Amino acid sequence: MGALTGTIRVPGDKSISHRALMFGALAVGETRVSGLLEGHDVLATADALRAMGAAIEKTSDGEWSIHGVGVGGLLQPDQALDMGNSGTSTRLLMGLVASHGISATFTGDASLSGRPMGRVIDPLGQMGAGFEASPGGTLPLMMKGSLPAVPITYRLPVASAQVKSAVLLAGLNTPGVTTVIEPVPTRDHTERMLKGFGADLSVELVEGERHIRIRGEAELKPQTITVPSDPSSAAFFIVAALLTPGSDLTIENVGLNDTRAGLIGMLQQMGGSIELLDEREIGGEPVADLRVKHSALKGIEVDPQIAPSMIDEFPILFVAAACASGVTTTSGLEELRVKESDRLSAMAAALTAAGARVKETGDGLIIAGTGGAPLPGTSGEPVTTHLDHRIAMSMAVAGIASSAGVEVDDTRPIATSFPTFETLLAQAARD
């Protein structure tokens, strides 16, 4: 594949798209959303909200219209809610159901059904919700909401925006004040957007920890939302352009929320040429256009404190590291073992199959780069993606940066988060 040039725009941010649908479904009146990511995960959220009473449709001008039921107005779904591959849909919707007087059964595909839900079951159980989960606290799972639910103060045992959001969403319909204490900051889209919808939410820094308080029995007001481009999706094109000689690619309207933009700083630290153009704010979220040029990267030691701000981008960072000069060391990444796959083991195996030199540790990878030379690529067996969209896309980029190419076993999971990935990649290489 040739150099990546010209200007592209990647799809809307997945995290913000999920939340725009959910909060619109809880507002009274019509919320309109432009730039919504139309991948399988987000559409699973839309289907579940429809099943609980919200009216959600795509309009003729490409925007999405959501007529909400109001906080406390969710209806009993007639059948199981199929979450597909989406952990975000599952955990956040569990939070919504927890403080409504309804029951819901959550199901998912093989990958999602292996992921732990105990971290959400624990705090929601403290608020009064009841659960019947599969062995190991996994899906299929039936839960019964509590009305009224009990407000709690919950300290997150692990850095997880999904767990934080689930508790805050349960707090929306819970009398009194629900508090989440966050020792390590995670992505804050929930807090930003809830305040935008009119929730009584405050964030206070107490001895270095974020105390997030939400007053329940809220009334959310409908909004008009423009979803910025997803930094996690832009990440694949950023790394592809950095690694491909002759590349000079501009990626428009990328969300640069501090809790999400860690990868850009890491790649700049590695020597990557990434220029932020026209920095601005849209709907309470900072955005910019990114101009990315081919660069000689060098290995670094990644500070584990940065992990929450780029947790989904580590697979593609590993690809960049495999093509850099010197050694890149990562640690503190236990969370990657309970994503759509065990992303540490999966990426170690996939990159090794493509000819990279990788050592897996308990909480990270140590990668000795090629010094800027292409990876050898795979020969024979395709690499295993474990039905994980980010593994598949990361290894597609590794294929671009290889001599013989990289074959992956299944590209279908890419549609869960980035249905136009292959088309955009071909467009960028053709421009």
Binding-site sequence positions for 3-phosphoshikimate: 14-15, 19, 160, 162, 312, 339
The string of DSSP codes covering 139-178 is EEEEEE--SS----EEE-SS--HHHHHHHHHHHTTSSSEE
What is the spatial distance between Cα 296 and Cα 272, in angstroms, rounded to a whole number?
Answer: 7
What is the spatial distance between Cα 101 and Cα 80, in angstroms, rounded to a whole number?
Answer: 16
Helix, strand and coil percent figures for the chain, each rounded to 5: 35, 25, 40
Q: Which two tokens stand for residue 143?
A: 């839960």
Residues placed in the known binding site: 14-15, 19, 87, 115, 160, 162, 312, 339, 343, 390
What is the enclosing helix (H) or strand (E) of 223?
Answer: none
Q: 3-state DSSP call for residue 83?
A: coil
Cα radius of gyration (the chain) = 21
- Which residues, at least 6 apart from 84, have a Cβ–Cβ distance to it below 8 Å? 40, 41, 44, 108, 109, 112, 416
Torsion 201-160-188-37 (CA) sign? negative
Between strands 201-206 and 209-215, the pairing is: antiparallel
Residue 409: count other Cβ atoms within 10 Å of its Cβ.
15
The amino acid present at 355, given as its one-letter code, is G
Does the active-site annotation cover 312? yes
Q: What is the DSSP letter of 204?
A: E
Measured between alpha carbons, how far apart are the two ends of the chain, in Å? 12
* Alpha helices, DSSP H, located in 222-312: 231-243, 262-269
Residues placed in the known binding site for phosphoenolpyruvate: 14, 87, 115, 162, 343, 390
User: Of the listed 312, 363, 409, 431, which one is catalytic?
Assistant: 312
Q: Put residue 405 in one of left, alpha, beta given phi > 0 → left and psi -120 to 50 → alpha.
A: left
Q: Which residues are catalytic?
A: 312
